[in-house]
């Protein structure tokens, strides 16, 4: 018995890394939600990464540690939040004091991995550092992660948070290692980062899983459209929940045991619940296995809600999901769809604009997807298509390339899609040599470059931006996004930019002032005067501002990244208070992430 269990554990540890993947997220926010309808009652959560270019960053000044500030941070639905409690509740303190009871390890000594030190990034490949959470309480951080309404407004803020969540660090005090992995992976899934979530889950050996991590692991498998990823776990899950019974049935079918699979599915039907579409999808997976004999037809009539179960199993078996179901879930599901490997490239391009704006796709990954679409499209249909124009943006003389870029930028009518086109054209924009003849295009060229972190390349346009008309965003983008002062930052120039904006443009003015103050690029006296003149709110103090200030003083870059994201819990940059941008930029600069602070500030201007 022990030998069999050992083989199962070793197999789980190895095959978790080896299984194929696809993508799909969890659909809840505050806690894992059921992936099956009432009667199946098996809870499960979900969020995942893709690196993007970041410019250099200055060193942070060490400061003395202090206790974590607040318990919860705000959502921006009603603007600036009221103060929040500054201490953990008695219930939270009791939970923090608990430690998970872990089963004895059966793995060989050399194969053992600590669940309390899980991550895939380090200081050499984009990680934030092994001490990036500092002395923050694990329970405190877990609450912030669990209650965050992801995705957030900022693409660059999401990229930085992904790096923080993937950094290999010791689990903070007061939280079990496996549960700490679960919280991070669950947030990543809700951010649209299915791949990243899977990487974290695979960092824990099966015999170290806690109930919470089992839930997140199922969500991760479904978000990646990879039911096989549940197989190393299915026999180790405590209890006999119906979702895991169906998982065991699918695993039996994939292993060429249709009789066992049929018995398990029949048992799930008898155990309660009416079956319906969710059982049929499981049967579809069984039929796809070796010796599978079940021919199952999926009809979506009467199905009016997307779930992780439906998303994952439908994509795993190449069953088309009705467009209407995507309207019932958040945009993170679109990001899962964009990277689902079983789907053809033409079905992934539409959702990919979400993946790009959420930070799940880098500019390079987005371009590669369109390159694959170009290769898959008949030559007669390429002319005038987005893929065809993108190709033209890299070919011929500068005038022809600019013509293609203008067409790509002007085509979308949706603001999010317009920003996605900036991400798509970042590298093509970087190839355009600064020219006063393109002064009217400088704003889009600079904005596009900054979506990919090409700050030093964008700085070549400083002379053009300085000579542009007073209200041109090209100046504003370089004022906050350049690695150094390359444009006029005098009070008169800022005032001229403000006066040139209409009422709608005043949001950008406040973001410019907030970012310049946070970066220390204007004097304290000028910042105070501009603050009062334009109502930026730089002096606002509440529990959120105190939280991010405290984390910055304690030199906790990962904590700062997390709290910064909680200050951007909206899909609309215009709903992010300028005072929050000031605090975010200032805190990131203090902990050595000025480059990311500048990119977030430039994004605020581009998207407001």
For 154-164, what is the mean pLDDT? Answer: 98
Of the pLDDT bands very low, low, confident and very high (cuts 50, 70, 90), residue 112 is: confident
| Average pLDDT across the chain, whole number | 83
Cα 408 → chain centroid:
25
90-97 and 138-147 are packed helices; what angle lies between their axes, rounded to 10 degrees? 120
Express each pLDDT in 363-420 by its tens digit: 999 999 999 999 998 888 888 899 999 999 999 899 999 999 999 999 999 999 999 9
Which pLDDT score, from 0 to 100, does residue 123 have? 87
Judge whether 420 and 357 are in contact, CB under 8 Å. yes
Of the pLDDT bands very low, low, confident and very high (cuts 50, 70, 90), residue 425 is: very high
Of the pLDDT bands very low, low, confident and very high (cuts 50, 70, 90), residue 271 is: low
Which pLDDT score, from 0 to 100, does residue 25 have? 30
Report the range of poorest mean pLDDT among 60-69, 176-185, 186-195, 433-442.
Answer: 60-69
Which pLDDT score, from 0 to 100, does residue 156 have? 98
Report the range of poorest mean pLDDT among 97-101, 301-305, 355-359.
Answer: 97-101
Read off the tokens for 305. Answer: 């809600």
Express each pLDDT in 470-503 by its tens digit: 889 999 999 999 999 999 999 999 999 999 999 9
Which pLDDT score, from 0 to 100, does residue 356 have? 97
Which pLDDT score, from 0 to 100, does residue 98 have? 42
What stretch of H or E contains 282?
Answer: helix 277-287
Of the pLDDT bands very low, low, confident and very high (cuts 50, 70, 90), residue 2 is: very low
User: Per residue, what are the HEC states of 176-221?
Assistant: CHHHHHHHHHHHHHHCCCHHHHHHHHCCCCHHHCCHHHHHHHHHHH
Read off the tokens for 492. Answer: 């008169």
Going along 370-526, which residue ranges are E strands?
none
- CB-based burial label for 213 (10 Å; 0-12, 13-18, 19+): buried
What region, left, alpha or beta, does residue 505 occupy, with left being phi > 0 and alpha being psi -120 to 50 degrees?
A: alpha
Which pLDDT score, from 0 to 100, does residue 14 have? 30
Judge whether 217 and 209 are in contact, CB under 8 Å. yes
Whether the full predicted model's pTM is greater than 0.85, yes or no, is no
Residue 330 phi/psi, 5-degree rounding, is -75, 170
């Amino acid at each position: 018995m022990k030998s069999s269990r050992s083989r199962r554990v070793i197999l789980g540890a190895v095959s978790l890394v080896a299984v194929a993947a696809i993508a799909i997220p969890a659909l809840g926010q505050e806690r894992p939600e059921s992936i099956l309808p009432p009667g199946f009652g098996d809870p499960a959560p979900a969020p995942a990464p893709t690196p993007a270019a970041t410019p250099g960053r200055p060193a942070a000044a060490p400061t003395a540690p202090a206790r974590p500030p607040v318990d919860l941070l705000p959502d921006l639905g009603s603007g600036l939040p009221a103060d929040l409690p500054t201490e953990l509740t008695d219930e939270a303190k009791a939970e923090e004091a608990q430690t998970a009871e872990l089963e004895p390890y059966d793995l060989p000594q050399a194969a053992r991995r600590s669940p309390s030190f899980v991550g895939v990034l380090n200081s050499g490949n984009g990680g934030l550092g092994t001490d990036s959470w500092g002395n923050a309480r694990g329970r405190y951080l877990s609450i912030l992660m669990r209650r965050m309404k992801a995705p957030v407004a900022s693409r660059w803020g999401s990229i930085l948070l992904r790096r923080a969540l993937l950094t290999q660090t010791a689990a903070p005090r007061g939280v079990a290692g496996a549960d700490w992995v679960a919280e991070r992976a669950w947030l990543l899934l809700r951010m649209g980062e299915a791949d990243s979530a899977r990487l974290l889950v695979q960092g824990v050996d099966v015999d170290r899983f806690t109930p919470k991590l089992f839930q997140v692991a199922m969500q991760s498998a479904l978000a990646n459209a990879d039911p096989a990823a549940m197989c190393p776990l299915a026999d180790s899950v405590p209890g006999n929940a119906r979702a895991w019974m169906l998982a065991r049935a699918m695993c039996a079918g994939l292993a060429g045991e249709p009789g066992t699979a049929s018995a398990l599915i029949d048992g799930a039907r008898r155990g309660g619940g009416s079956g319906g579409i969710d059982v049929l999808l499981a049967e579809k997976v069984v039929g796809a296995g070796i010796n599978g004999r079940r021919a199952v037809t999926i009809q979506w009539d009467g199905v009016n809600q997307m779930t992780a179960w439906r998303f994952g199993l439908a994509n795993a078996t190449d069953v088309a999901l009705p467009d209407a179901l995507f309207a019932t879930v958040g945009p993170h599901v679109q990001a899962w769809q964009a990277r689902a490997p079983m789907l053809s490239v033409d079905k992934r391009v539409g959702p990919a604009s979400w993946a790009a704006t959420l930070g799940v796709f880098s500019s390079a990954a987005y371009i590669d997807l369109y390159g694959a679409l170009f290769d898959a499209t008949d030559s007669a249909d390429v002319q005038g298509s987005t893929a065809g124009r993108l190709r033209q943006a890299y070919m011929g003389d500068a005038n022809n390339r600019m013509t293609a870029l203008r067409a790509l930028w002007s085509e979308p009518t949706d603001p999010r899609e317009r920003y996605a086109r900036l991400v798509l054209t970042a590298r093509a924009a970087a190839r355009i040599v600064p020219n006063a003849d393109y002064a009217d295009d400088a704003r889009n060229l600079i904005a596009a470059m900054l979506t990919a972190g090409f700050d030093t390349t964008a700085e070549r346009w400083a002379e053009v931006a300085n000579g542009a008309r007073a209200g041109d965003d090209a100046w504003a983008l370089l004022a906050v996004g350049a690695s150094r002062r390359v444009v006029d930052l005098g009070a008169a120039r800022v005032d001229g930019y403000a006066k040139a904006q209409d009422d709608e443009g005043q949001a950008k003015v406040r973001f410019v002032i907030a970012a310049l103050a946070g970066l220390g690029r204007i004097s304290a006296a000028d910042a105070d005067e501009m603050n009062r003149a334009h109502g930026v709110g730089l002096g606002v103090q509440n529990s959120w501002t105190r939280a991010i200030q405290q984390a910055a003083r304690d030199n906790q870059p990962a904590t700062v990244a997390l709290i910064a994201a909680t200050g951007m819990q909206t899909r609309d940059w215009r709903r992010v208070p300028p005072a929050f941008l000031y605090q975010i930029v200032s805190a990131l600069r203090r902990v050595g992430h000025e480059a990311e602070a500048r990119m977030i500030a430039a994004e605020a201007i581009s998207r407001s």
